[in-house]
Amino acid sequence: MALSGPGVPPFRDVVILTQFYAPEPGAPQVRLAALARELARRGARVRVITGMPNYPDGRIQPGYRGRLTMREDVAGVPVRRVWLYAAAGRGSLHRLLGYLSFTLAAAPALLLGRRPDLVFVEAQPLTLALPAWLLGVLRGVPWIYNTPDLQVELAGEAGWIAARPLLALARRLEAFLMGRALAVTTVTRAFLEHFARTRGVPAERLCFLPNGADVAWLRPLPRDAALAARLGVDGRRVVTYAGTHAPYQGLEVLVQAAARLRHRRDVAVLIVGRGPERERLVAAARTAALDNVLFRDVPFADMPRLMSVSDLFVATLRDFPSARGMRLSKAVPPLACGVPVVYAGDDEMAALIEREGCGVRVPPGRPDLLADAIARLVDDPERRRAMGRRGRALAERAFAWPALVDAWLAQVAALHGAGRPAGAPAGAA
């Protein structure tokens, strides 16, 4: 059975190739699970090839250790897992070894498995697109190169890769792979423009698939008093951050802002999640004796409940050039749940929140302005409620997964109908 819907390509068998997938947390994992669900809902037979769960702690999770390969079902989707060197958060060399180990382990699973009609590659690392390109050359399978950020530029700006020749090689490899994919997909308009300008990807082969939300599940709920008591925030105004603690986010600015709010005994800053920066953030809060900062773990499955006890949400992003085209996906769940967002960053999502009036935008790296914005919103419940209503309306209009996937499939359908041979460079037909 072909995929159903106007303008949808006849891809009956789809493989999603990704190093990270549920039950790991993170925006790509949520997006890929939603894509798998939406494709299956349209009649596709979807399979996932991925690694053993290890993100963000860099340790393979219990139940998956000691295995070279395994199969399981995740939310109705068949998943083939292969071994990898778990290295999240261990430094650049270990991270690179982790990426290469998965690329090598995943290649046989893709190349020797049942021939699909389409491969969707979450190209982080970019080397993961090599097996898909090879499958296109050998077996004529079209494939899509998807990337959620400017990974090569980000690696250079953040100092993860310092060697200029290695960065230049990575740019050339990415341009080569993008030039041979059926389509290049990414999550922001700014990234689409960047790839057209710097990688030479024709505009007609650039497709937009932003991070979205299950707006039927992520919705405003009555305050969950039991969860508030368990988290230790009962009776206080709650300022929440929920997501991975990664270096590019610059979460220390939230801890610094909390220090300026320590006199507000009615305010709790709740930092939820894990990642390579968590220990450093906990140490900073402890050194400053910030008893208004609480570090907690809440599973993503409880996100609507967590948002119900949150009076506002904070998202942060460091100020380096490649970050300015981002859309931090962690701002989407609070918007869908009717929680206003204070956004300390300078990217597409910051501009969208400001334009739609569903939060407050402050410059990155300014704890004084962040603390002031938090205090003003905490003390203005009517403004918070109005922002929350506008955020929910924005989520329903712009972030609902069915509409996002329909629009993306229409773009891919047009490219597939053009008849470009799999694995051929741009311009071939």
The angle that helices 367-378 and 381-398 make with each other, rounded to 10 degrees, is 100
| CATH code of residue 40 | 3.40.50.2000
Which amino acid, one-letter code, is at 409?
A: L
Q: Which 3-state string (H, E, C) describes the chain?
A: CCCCCCCCCCCCEEEEECCCCCCCCCHHHHHHHHHHHHHHHCCCEEEEEEECCCCCCCCCCCCCCCCCEEEEEECCEEEEEECCCCCCCCCHHHHHHHHHHHHHHHHHHHHCCCCCCEEEEECCCHHHHHHHHHHHHHHCCCEEEECCCCHHHHHHHCCCCCCHHHHHHHHHHHHHHHCCCCEEEECCHHHHHHHHHHCCCCHHHEEECCCCECCCCCCCCCCCHHHHHHHCCCCCEEEEEECCCCHHHCCHHHHHHHHHCCCCCCEEEEEECCCCCHHHHHHHHHHCCCCCEEEECCCHHHHHHHHHCCCEEEEECCCCHHHHHCCCHHHHHHHHCCCCEEEECCCHHHHHHHHHCCEEEECCCCHHHHHHHHHHHHCCHHHHHHHHHHHHHHHHHHCEHHHHHHHHHHHHHHHHHCCCCCCCCCCCC
Identify whether residues 338 and 389 lie together within a single domain: yes
Q: Is residue 422 part of a domain?
A: no
Identify whether residues 58 and 201 lie together within a single domain: yes
Identify whether residues 380 and 308 lie together within a single domain: yes
| pLDDT score recorded for residue 4 | 46
User: What CA–CA distance (Å, rounded) separates 133 from 67?
Assistant: 27
- Comparing CA positions, the residue from 358, 158, 342 lying closest to residue 257 is 342
- Comparing CA positions, the residue from 188, 189, 210, 212 lying closest to residue 335 is 212
Identify whether residues 272 and 233 lie together within a single domain: yes
Identify whether residues 59 and 45 lie together within a single domain: yes
Q: What's the structural domain count of the chain?
A: 2
Q: Is residue 405 part of a domain?
A: yes
User: What CA–CA distance (Å, rounded) separates 106 from 103?
Assistant: 5
| pLDDT score recorded for residue 7 | 42
> Which structural domain range is residue 317 located in?
225-398
Q: What is the largest CA-CA distance in the chain?
A: 67
| pLDDT score recorded for residue 88 | 62
Q: Running along the chain, 429 residues long, what does each successive block of 10 average in pLDDT?
A: 48 95 90 95 95 89 92 96 83 82 96 96 96 97 94 80 85 96 95 95 95 97 98 98 90 98 97 93 97 96 98 94 83 98 95 97 97 98 98 98 94 76 55
Q: Is residue 7 part of a domain?
A: no
Identify whether residues 157 and 19 lie together within a single domain: yes
Identify whether residues 284 and 404 lie together within a single domain: no
Identify whether residues 288 and 307 lie together within a single domain: yes
Identify whether residues 365 and 412 lie together within a single domain: no
Pairing of strands 77-82, 69-74: antiparallel
Q: Is residue 104 part of a domain?
A: yes
Identify whether residues 235 and 318 lie together within a single domain: yes
Q: Is residue 180 part of a domain?
A: yes
